[in-house]
Amino acid sequence: MGDLPAALLLVSACLVGLLLVPFGLPGLWVMVLGVAGYGWLTDFRTVTLGLMTLVLALAVVGEVVEAWLGFRFARRYGGSRRAGWGALVGGLVGAVIGVPVPLVGPVIGGFLGAFAGAALFEYTRARQRGAAAWAGWGAVLGRAAAAAAKMALGIVIAVSAIFAALGG
């Protein structure tokens, strides 16, 4: 019964983390902190160095995949590297600007920001509206793919952590 608060922390961190990911917020890192907090509260009886390494590695992979997919999709739809940077910066700015609108604001802001950033950065390079719009569309698709990939990684983190907490 002494581990109940720690277990509640772990489950809460995993759920909150999974809810944050689609909003473009650092959900995987909330989960990492939840696993570390659980380990600390339970004297690392079931949270091993291997589990912490796995959880940290998956969170880093999630961030790399997110950046890579934005670049990849913006370029796949005709954009330059510059459009990829625009997608990344625009998505982050859009998500922050959308925060005041509960629940959907950061998601919509992130998608609109990725589109606007990729399109604007591409337009300043190529001066072609059509090409800029396609690069923006690619950035939106990349952001959606990145959110799906990060959700999948978050589920792996949550299942691994809860399995370890159960002593398995």
Residues 113 and 93: beta-carbon distance below 8 Å: yes
* pLDDT surpasses 80 at 1: no
pLDDT the model gives residue 60: 93
Residues with Cβ within 8 Å of residue 146, at least 6 apart in sequence = 65, 66, 69, 70
- Average pLDDT of 150-162? 92
pLDDT the model gives residue 92: 77
Residues with Cβ within 8 Å of residue 54, at least 6 apart in sequence = 160
pLDDT the model gives residue 2: 54
Q: Encode pLDDT of 15-56 as tens digits.
A: 999 988 887 778 899 999 999 989 888 888 888 888 999 999
